[in-house]
Amino acid sequence: MTDTRGSSTESKRYPLLLDEPTEVDLLSFDAVASTVVDAVLDPGLDPIALGLSGSWGSGKTSVLRLIGRQLRPADDAKLTRIVIETDPWRYDPQLGIKESLIGEILAAIEAALPDDGLGEKSKSLLKRLVRRVDWTKAMKLAATSAITVTLPSVQSVLDLVKPKSEVEGEEQPEPITDMVQFRAEFENLLKSEGLASIENVVVLVDDLDRCLPETVVETLETIRLFLSVPKMSFVIAADEERVAEAIATRFSDDGEIGEESPARLYLHKIVQTSVPVPALSDFDTEAYLVLLQIRSLVPDDGAYNVIVMEVAEARRAAATLETVKSLQRDDFVEERNNAARIRPIVHEKTRGNPRRIKRFLNDLSVRLSIAAKRGISLDEAMIAKLMVLEQYFPADFMTLTDWLRQRTLRTNLEALEAFAGTPQATDGTDDTSKPIADDQLDSESPGDSPTEGNKKSSAEVIKPARPAPTEAKPQFSEGLVRWARLSPALAKKDIAPYLVFAASFKSVFLESDALPESIRDMATQLLSRSPGEARRVSDDMLRQLEQSNATRLVSYIGGVIVDEPARQAQGIIAMLRISRVQTSAVDSVVNALKRIKPAELKVSALTTLQPTDAPGILDQFEAMASASGKEELVGAFGAVKEGI
């Protein structure tokens, strides 16, 4: 996808990542795949059934594809092994689990038989096996093979393979159990002249842990009863815990748990050993975050593969991502910094699970896209930080929405960031170019002194102070403090619009219950961006307010414009209107103005200020304009005093 960094926020696209196994090895899983391949090709382990164990989303399917890629010969090489990929989760239960698995294997073997005379005997043995298997349900083979399928249905496991006495035109053999007979004939097929060059038939079984218990058990029984013969190898990718639970539905545990339970013993009888798919390390998580994010910026597959290989080399050398030269491009800075900032918490909360990390990035892309289309001005780093809270600290995210509802968001965020020692920039902007260090997340205590960037100017009325050791500490949860330490700082930013739309995803009601409904409706109209809507609240309506309600309305509006700076002009205009018809509300207006940082006062807020307004209000505006250091504010206030 083309990068759109130079375009407007509204036109930038935020691509979603497919929730499918990648064809590119982003995590150096080739080491795991090679270990499995070595075992499969070891003649001393023939036949073998290996487990590839890992939790949901750990990358088992990706590893299985790497195994298949390593096992398959080059296009011009002589065929020495047959590799079969199967997925019991996709089997139609109406077709029969055992029939489907055996059908796929026989179809793959038939496709590998040579067309010359050497393969004729093998084909005869193959057809003999096919005729003895019930295919009334196994339509799968009919779609993939030229073998004709006939014969009646099966009634049980032992009916799957029919005695020779039931196969028309064959001599009556001595009585023998069906399992043993089928296995013997299957072994003869693999030893036949037409398959002499085939050293291994490797079956890669995926998604077994997704299946219903019946499918799990029938698949394993088919491997154990019918297909476990020399030259046959199975690699079963599944969460071992889920498979054992499925097996347990067919066995009584008799009080046994763990490795000695009947279900575990049964599984280990079939699967000799399991190779675990490791969870991602800190390095892996950060690398994965970066590589996924930059994919849309590198449309050329070859160039992207070079970056992936360089990251793999850094992983093997125990180096850092900063040493990967191909990642130091200027257009990757945002992605690298985002990954470095959120990596500690994302790694912990996802437990290094690739799919969960990918889902987080997809959720982030959705939020970024909607935020851009709604005109929310926060940059990607800020939204990523808020997403970390929303996804991994849901109770603390609700705390933020409660602060917004109570109109104490800005005040509480300032106190939280001062308490947590959130990295701040010294030039008035957030430091979004330097990720927070791990030791800041884990070892910095809440009592540490704040950075220089946390110190407030003397012109600010609200000064959140760090508590003295003997004082009661602010009641911030550990999760909130950890989250607050992530850069960038948010207390100076207008995050309320994002919280409003993010809360809507969770059906969280954000209207304040501090006002009566009639006063709340009035506040909504006064704060509207539409002047016509604000004028629906007449001066007579404001004049008729009880003194206590007028004071509460001013206090509420003051909280809104602090938490949502974008509504400052509408809020100040509304408070000035109230002060002109309710002289008792003047002090409340002055107090509300004192909550606004002078540097954040906007010229547009002075558009309706009049020289006849209350002296206390004029004095507060004059002090704020002077303290702001903004010539345009000083000039605008001077024009008001002169009645211009």
Instruction: Tell me the domain boundaries of the chain.
Output: 30-276, 282-498, 517-641
My answer on whether omega of the bond before 469 falls inside 30° of 0, hence cis, is no
Q: What one-character DSSP code corresponds to residue 232?
A: E
Least confident of 76-85, 131-140, 267-276: 131-140
What torsion, rounded to 10 degrees, do the Cα atoms 364, 367, 373, 378 define? -80
pLDDT digits (tens, 9 = 90+) for 30-60: 999 999 999 999 988 888 999 999 988 899 9
For residue 252, the model assigns a pLDDT of: 63
| Closest to 280 measured CA to CA, from 217, 348, 226, 225 | 348
For residue 439, the model assigns a pLDDT of: 42
For residue 101, the model assigns a pLDDT of: 87
Least confident of 115-124, 397-406, 461-470: 461-470
For residue 429, the model assigns a pLDDT of: 45
Residues 6+ apart with CB under 8 A from 292: 17, 26, 357, 358, 361
For residue 287, the model assigns a pLDDT of: 93
Q: What is the mean pLDDT of residues 134-144?
A: 43
511 pLDDT higher than 70 = no
For residue 460, the model assigns a pLDDT of: 35
SS3 248: helix
| Closest to 32 measured CA to CA, from 61, 66, 82 | 66
Q: What is the mean pLDDT of residues 515-534?
A: 84
247 sits in which H/E element = helix 240-248
Residues 6+ apart with CB under 8 A from 435: 337, 340, 341, 343, 487
DSSP bridge pairs for 205:
86, 236
| Confidence category of residue 114, pLDDT binned at 50, 70, 90 | confident
Q: What is the mean pLDDT of residues 50-79?
A: 87
My answer on whether omega of the bond before 47 falls inside 30° of 0, hence cis, is yes
82 close to 201: Cβ distance less than 8 angstroms: yes
567 pLDDT higher than 50 = yes
Higher per-residue pLDDT: 473 or 209: 209
201 sits in which H/E element = strand 200-205
565 pLDDT higher than 70 = yes
DSSP string for residues in 400-424: HHHHHHTT-HHHHHHHHHHHHT---
SS3 236: strand
| Confidence category of residue 517, pLDDT binned at 50, 70, 90 | confident
Least confident of 28-42, 76-90, 169-183, 559-573: 169-183
- Per-residue tokens: 545: 């307010």
215 pLDDT higher than 50 = yes
Q: What is the mean pLDDT of residues 199-228?
A: 89
Q: What is the mean pLDDT of residues 494-503?
A: 84
For residue 437, the model assigns a pLDDT of: 42
pLDDT digits (tens, 9 = 90+) for 302-360: 999 999 999 999 999 999 999 999 999 999 998 999 899 899 999 999 999 999 999 99
Percent of the chain with pLDDT over 70: 78
Range from 2-6, 261-265, 458-462, 581-585 that averages highest in pLDDT: 581-585
Least confident of 93-97, 157-161, 285-289, 623-627: 157-161
The terminus-to-terminus CA distance of the chain in angstroms comes to: 54
For residue 204, the model assigns a pLDDT of: 96
- Strand order across the beta sheet in which 273-276 lies: 81-86, 200-205, 232-238, 48-53, 273-276
* Residue with the two structure tokens 């508590």: 467
19 pLDDT higher than 80 = no
621 pLDDT higher than 90 = yes
pLDDT digits (tens, 9 = 90+) for 184-193: 888 999 999 8
288 close to 295: Cβ distance less than 8 angstroms: no
Higher per-residue pLDDT: 153 or 512: 512
Instruction: Say if pTM beats, i.e. exceeds, 0.85.
Output: no
CATH class of 30-276: alpha beta
- Per-residue tokens: 206: 């995926």
190 close to 229: Cβ distance less than 8 angstroms: yes
95 pLDDT higher than 50 = yes
